[in-house]
Structure 1
Amino acid sequence: MMQTVQQIETIAELRRQLREPRRQGRRIGFVPTMGYLHEGHLSLVNEAKKHCDLVVMSIFVNPLQFGPNEDFDRYPRDLERDLQLAASVGVDMVFTPSVAEMYPQQVKTNVSVAGVSEPLCGRSRPGHFDGVATVVLKLLQIVQPDYAFFGQKDAQQVAVVEQMVQDLSVPVKIVPCPIVREADGLAMSSRNVYLNPEERKQATVLFRSLQLAKQRLAGGEELESIRDEIVRSIQAEPLADIDYVELLRYPDLAQLDSVEKGERVLVALAVRFGKTRLIDNMMVTV
């Protein structure tokens, strides 16, 4: 019989429920999500269960990280299904606060992480990572986990969170987890449901382009020519509209003129197919 999962809607109740496990010295793992769960999220839970005695997941579509013309109201939601999926992989508690519970009044405190939040999505979605850092810090304060698990699909988000945790001495270990992909290579994302069949088919160019970049980096090609080749590869799909294609040093996301041996390069893409903006990336150690 599948276990049921404990759903908690208020900050006070979640803190109360976690007091006893914490007193017993049980290791608490935390998986923050915006819901509409897929295999990528569930892989974070499976990783959490390896390290922790108790797993808390949050489901909260955070308005602070959406810009004025972005898809906050359209963002897919299905709480009943999410709770069933969370139970199926053994999540112990799901924290599902309302916006009013998280932000009972206008938020006057803003967490801003300089440097790593500025390129890539930071440039095309101004204010996005301030919203991410603010909600993640708030959730870490509420849950106070020993470990928190983040998908590498948003590698910039991981870099921002790791920098914030380090700078503010937040007592949590951040665990980045590998991207989970569909059989044809498309990175799993809650936004994939927006794609029509033709957009969905053409979106597989993202993974093919990343694989191409990995081969070219291994062959020691110039970064600028690799970038140009990725751009040409993506533009060959008529529905693809490129937001950015970048090769940056990880984790500081600095611009690279050349690559030293042993350096980690983040190949990062953001491309629109119709109204749907998809991100993907690959980490390559040269």
Structure 2
Amino acid sequence: MTLTDTRVDDGYPTRITGTPEHLPRVHPTVWGTEADGPIDAATLANHETKGYTVVEDTLSVGEVQTYWQELVRLSTDKELARDERVITEAKTGEVRSIFDVHELSDLIAELVRDPRVLDRARQMLGSEVYIHQSRVNYMPGFKGSGFYWHSDFETWHAEDGMPAPRAVSCSIALTDNYPFNGGLMIMPGSHRTFVQCAGETPDENYKASLKDQRVGVPNEDDITRMAAEHGIDQFTGQAGSALWFDSNIMHGSGNNITPYPRSNIFLVFNSVENALQEPFAASVPRPAFIAGRDSTPISR
């Protein structure tokens, strides 16, 4: 395996030997301007500072119900259940995530091209965009397990070959998000620092990490330091709300032991000018259903 610290062109070395460091981000968060889309200048500036933006009522009540029914259909499709794009909970065997959903669902394919979504992605990234990853996440009541603290870009850089953090995620809630049902926690401003992780990437690491990520996560000292510096916000709000967050922001979620499920549609847009290369810290790229390698721009 070729480790990233041997690559002279890597601005974000990770999966290192030795003690991880906190590296300053060398790329902007917002690449476009107010003139490029629906987001006003003040909101763009706030997104640049905090690394995330919440857009209430992105979907109407009726649309939420339509997409919720689509999630139920996908999770109960017996033929699809045998597909490797369906990830199940390590302990219960229940559906945890379904990847590549914009290829599996015409409804979600339409959502990707919806101006309410696509125009914001283009504006934030200052270019045409394509889907790096799409999935639906299921966190059922009582049994839903969380996601440990991590930066998505660390994995996308190390295992997928994403050169720079010029990607943005859109998480659209299909259930109400409360402080107590495993809602996403974010460290505002943490996107301006790249936290290195230690250790080599095992072969086919994705098969384990999609259920329970152990490689490519910061150590407890680094998480403590980041929390002390940035604090922790939590995404709460009604179904239909959308959380837009930078690819390098530190985030995670706890287990859901309440009766209230928490499900969302998760779309990752990458700039066509930031197309994937060979992985920076893995022997081979992850499968295309996890990290799309076709950077053809999305068209309406």
**TM-score of the superposed pair, with normalisation by structure 1:** 0.26
Higher helix share: 1
**TM-score of the superposed pair, with normalisation by structure 2:** 0.26
Larger radius of gyration between Structure 1 and Structure 2? 1
| More RCO (CA 8 Å, sep 6+) | 2
